[in-house]
Amino acid sequence: MRKARVKDYDLKGLYVKTDQGEQQGDILILTPGCDRIEQLKFIRSVLSRSEVSFEANDDYDELTALQVATYLARKGKKVTYCGPILRRWDSRLAEAVARALELAGIRLAEGCSTVFPDCRPNHPFEFFSPNDRLEVAKNAYAGGDIVKDFPKVGELAMRTGKYIARAALGKEDRPFKPVLINVIKLPKGKALYIRTDLPWNGNTLVTKVSRFRYLTKSFLERYYLASNGRMGLLENL
């Protein structure tokens, strides 16, 4: 069965118009993700090169850009990453990431002429600025990649979805507390593990390079594809 394509929505009216009709509800949850077509085109375009240099255009896509940089390095490319590392983040995290990149053989430079494309909202959506309960209007929620000023990473997106589901069912009355958890796979079978809430005025920062995190992320990537995105019991790892 063909998936319905959203043509319009109304936050106050709590309805969505699609090419298959209009859906009305008591609660509206918007988690459409974002359009990564240009990012995928970029990756395909550089895979044939032996040397690649680029920088992120948008601060909140930078973790994705860094993942691409390390992916290309694992493919044997000579990679240069340009621009300030995680410019909107805590300097301690930026320093830890920079050290991991340099140890992985990725050169850091001041500026590049090539820019990694932005992740953009799918039409007709936009980036939303919800409150601390991820509400954009009464009984209307937004989560995942379309939350403005959130890094575009899957683990954080998944937790916004879980929080919204509990809130919509009346099982959650605490504010959503963002925490960045990310694993960047490096060459030579190691990975950088990041856990922090510093961008949201927290005080947690954990960074560690290890073989275990590389193996764990590799397993989760394969499981995610095999299960068609259903993490099951693994969602709490």
CA nearest to 32, candidates 160, 145, 149, 140: 145
- What's at 137, amino acid-wise? A
Number of Cα atoms under 13 Å in the Cβ half of residue 162: 13
For residues 205 and 93, the answer to whether their CB atoms sit within 8 Å is yes
Tokens 């805590």 belong to residue: 90
Alpha-carbon distance of 82 to 111, in angstroms, equals 5
Fold of 37-117+179-230: FAD/NAD(P)-binding domain (3.50.50)
Q: pLDDT digit of tens for each residue in the chain (237 aa)?
A: 567 789 999 999 998 999 888 888 899 999 998 999 999 999 999 999 999 999 998 889 999 999 999 999 999 999 999 988 887 788 888 999 999 999 889 999 988 889 999 999 999 999 999 999 999 999 999 999 999 989 998 889 999 999 999 999 999 989 999 999 999 999 889 999 999 998 898 999 999 999 999 898 888 778 767 766 555 544 554
Alpha-carbon distance of 52 to 113, in angstroms, equals 11
Specify the 3-state DSSP secondary structure of 108.
strand
Provide the pLDDT for residue 83. 86
The two three-digit tokens of residue 69, written as one number: 């940089």
- What's at 43, amino acid-wise? I
Alpha-carbon distance of 195 to 19, in angstroms, equals 41
Provide the pLDDT for residue 237. 46
Domain chopping of the chain, boundaries = 6-30+126-168, 37-117+179-230
Alpha-carbon distance of 141 to 128, in angstroms, equals 10
The answer to whether 6-30+126-168 and 37-117+179-230 have equal CATH topology is yes
Domain 6-30+126-168 has CATH 3.30.565.10: no
Q: Across the chain, how many H-helices and E-strands are there? A: 5, 15
Alpha-carbon distance of 32 to 5, in angstroms, equals 11
The two three-digit tokens of residue 35, written as one number: 């359009």
Instruction: Please measure the distance between the N-terminal and C-terminal CA atoms of the chain and give it in whole angstroms.
Output: 33
Alpha-carbon distance of 115 to 214, in angstroms, equals 27
| Rounded (10°) CA dihedral 101, 107, 110, 113 | -110
Specify the 3-state DSSP secondary structure of 53.
strand
